A and B are shown apart, each in its own frame.
Chain A
Amino acid sequence: MDQDEILENESVEKILSPHPLSFMGLQSLCIFLIVWGLLVAWLVNFSDFRSYFINPILIIVVWAFGLLLVGVIASLLTVLWRIFFIYCAIVGSGIGIVFWLGYLNDSGVFLPVFTVVISIIGFLLVECFRRSHKYVISNQRIIFKGGVVVKEERTLRYDKISDINSKQGVLGQIFGFGTIIPISQSGFGLGADTSFAAGGVQAGKKRLKILGIFGGGREVQTPRTRSYYELHGIFPYKEVKKIVENLVQGSVITTYQQEQVKFQEEQVDLQKEMRDLLKKQGTLNRSLNNKEEDIES
């Protein structure tokens, strides 16, 4: 953090970055690509089923089908269609290169190598994304920074934090990292889980066909935000959580402190009244003295 970014009387407690394994959701998509690439390579070149893959089109179909199937499943589970579109792009570019460069007869070798290379690129991109995150915990605020191309920044003062959500997955429990989402009074840090159910009905066999779709939705507020607006996958989790909670508690006025402030305000009012009374008395005394002096003269 640059010195010119530090405010008056501000001291930095910790500068953090996400743990290397904290983006396992994205990394697992790359791991799958490696596994699938190797599996296809074994299936079409070395397995007992290799005789079925004499036709190169079948290799392309099997390779693409596996990728798209996992893409759909991953997208449905994470409610992120981005994953499916990325896998679609990989399939499209792979098939495009095969036909463009005339690798159709070598697709049993080219497609697995292509998949592994893409997964390595994916790993590098995820690592760049992880390294773009920077969290600064100072005695006055938390600064969240992130974004590879477009730089995002969020500053949150401790007195504006209304709630703290913490979570630690299995990997986090093993390696000691976790995510802390500070929710602001404006609701920044809250997301929504939406579920929708639909069903279709078809009546009649030959002529009459009635199709009906019934749906229903439900939305649940849940602590969720982008990784550069939360303390994502920070290590050591327990220590950082304690620091943040202490700083939040330190900026919150307790009931006793509120009574003290009220009492002090009353004291100030009393003192002001006394000052005004003393001023009045002073002016009265001065006017009396003047009158006495006038009488004497």
Chain B
Amino acid sequence: MSASPLDIIVFAPLAPIFGMLLFWFIQLLFIESQKYMLSGISKEHEPFIRFTNFIGIFFQTVCHALGYTVTKHGISEFYIGVHYGKVAPKKNKTGLFEWLSNGFLFLGPFFIPSFLLLICLFFLLNNGFIFYPLESYTFSENMIVFGNNIFHFSYSFFSFLATIDFMHPGHFGFFIMFILLGLGIRPSYIGEKTVKKVDIFYDLKNIRYKLLHKPLYIVFFLLSAYIFSYLSVLFNLNWYVGLFSLFGWLSIIAITALFFAHIFIFLIKVTDLIPGTFRYISLMLFPVSYVILRILFFLVPIPYITTISLLLSIIITSGLIILFLHSLTNTFKFSEPMKSHKKSK
């Protein structure tokens, strides 16, 4: 395949950047949706909200401290609480060091929790960590290899989730960590005190501000990316696409963790909808049904035990929750058919 010099020099390095930005944007949307769901249950479940705040603030503060340590600012003050975290530098540095520490603070909370999960997955996945080689250094080839890297990892990751064995301590521990970190992948605070509204619009405004008023940040980022891309071409390696694929993997882990955290928050919300003694049934159904099914399949062995147990537990949980909501609350109930309402309008 022949490649034009213009493509190699100008367009090819942009391909993995676009790919990574796409996944990061999806991650931001999921974060926004999670914040909306959490603020909906904040009054009834204050300790739970404080707990999720703590996880988020913990990662944000650690990233902040990490940024100051790496850039040799030093740390003079360090505090992590449920409502806020504080890191003060010993020295105030400007230029490249300031940019790096700001970069850690801005991007760290989005990627550090996923990075921890990625390390765990390294021991649990069989063959998900593959970087495909590049045949040529064009925009399309870079995009295809980026996509292949992402696809291969996603396939292994989702296969693992579909066959997860909650009776395996490693799998169980990973899942608990997955949910906990999923609840905290957000650099913002939800609570009784309105500290500062940090939402997707704030992030976008921040990016816009940086683009317009501090273009050197973007120029520096693009320059580093292009230099790294040219070095990869020079040494005939796939390091450049590999690096951005790694960020893509982190985003996929974060998006999936956020999705599972959404389900968990929904189950907590259901506890408010169901009155009386059946209140906590939504949280109990899945583990209880899974354990019963595993015991049953231990006594009566069948193939694909883990997947079938998981699937049946999900079906039982969803079905019974709908049944409880239907029988004990007004949800899913209409005194008259919907068609009659539509006609009357």
- Where the two chains meet, the residues of A that have a C-beta atom closer than 8 Å to any C-beta of B are 38-39, 42, 46, 170, 173-176
Contact = CB atoms under 8 A, between A and B. Distances in A.
Contact of B54 (A38, A46, A174, A176): A174
B169 A38 contact: yes
By DSSP majority rule, is chain B's interface helix, strand, loop, or mixed?
A: helix
Interface string B70-100: 0000000000011000000000000000000
A176 B168 CA distance: 34
Contacts of B169: 38-39, 42
Interface residues of B, number: 10
A264 B306 CA distance: 85
B167 A176 contact: no
A173 B50 contact: yes
Nearest to A47: B168
Interface in B38-54: 46-47, 50-51, 54
B82 A174 contact: yes
A174 B180 CA distance: 15
Contacts of B51: 174
By DSSP majority rule, is chain A's interface helix, strand, loop, or mixed?
A: helix
Nearest to A21: B47
Nearest to B46: A176
Nearest to B83: A173
A173 B167 contact: no
A175 B47 contact: yes
A42 B168 CA distance: 7
Query: A38, A39, A46, A173 — which one has the most chain B CB atoms within 10 A of its CB?
Result: A173
The 9 A-B pairs of least Cβ separation, nearest first, read A173-B82, A174-B50, A175-B47, A174-B51, A174-B47, A39-B169, A42-B169, A174-B82, A173-B81
Nearest to A46: B167
Contacts of A176: 46-47
Given A175-B47, A176-B47, A170 B167 contact: no
Contacts of A38: 169
Contacts of A170: 54, 82
Contacts of A175: 47
Nearest to A173: B82
A233 B264 CA distance: 29
A175 B47 CA distance: 5
B193 to A, nearest CB: 13
Interface string B163-176: 00001110000000
